[in-house]
């Protein structure tokens, strides 16, 4: 990964986060569905099923936002690197130092003499 472009690394990390997020959401959904199956009343079972459904909807929305953000960042980075690579470098010639330090030294000597 040392030689890989950072936009590729960003996309890979986003995929890993997406997978982890969806795995956790599915675990939680399964837990709520299990609680719904064990529930004694219909109202309680319906509430757990609704929570399971809401969990998956929220996790899916969060995963989509995460993926879009990562894609935007990766695209932005790749674009800026392309622009930086195509921009010519301007070399500035170093200017000679002005003689102001010498003048200050002369003024300091003049003040000490008084």
36-57, pLDDT tens digit by residue? 999 999 999 999 999 999 999 9
Pairwise CA distance, residues 75 & 81, whole Å: 10
Encode pLDDT of 86-103 as tens digits.
Answer: 888 777 777 765 556 566
Cβ–Cβ under 8 Å, residues 70 and 10 = yes
DSSP state of 99: S
Cβ–Cβ under 8 Å, residues 70 and 13 = yes
Q: In which band, very low, low, confident or very high, does the pLDDT at 2 lie, cut at 50, 70 and 90? A: very low
């Amino acid at each position: 990964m040392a030689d890989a472009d950072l936009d590729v690394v960003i996309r890979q990390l986003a995929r890993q986060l997406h997978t982890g997020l969806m795995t956790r959401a599915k675990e939680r959904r399964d837990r709520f569905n299990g609680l719904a199956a064990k529930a004694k009343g219909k109202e309680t079972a319906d509430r757990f099923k609704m929570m399971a459904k809401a969990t998956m909807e929220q996790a899916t929305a969060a995963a989509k936002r995460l993926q879009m953000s990562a894609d935007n960042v990766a695209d932005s980075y790749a674009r800026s690197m392309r622009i930086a690579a195509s921009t010519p470098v301007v070399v500035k010639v170093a200017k000679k130092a002005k003689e102001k330090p010498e003048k200050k030294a002369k003024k300091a000597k003049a003040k000490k003499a008084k």
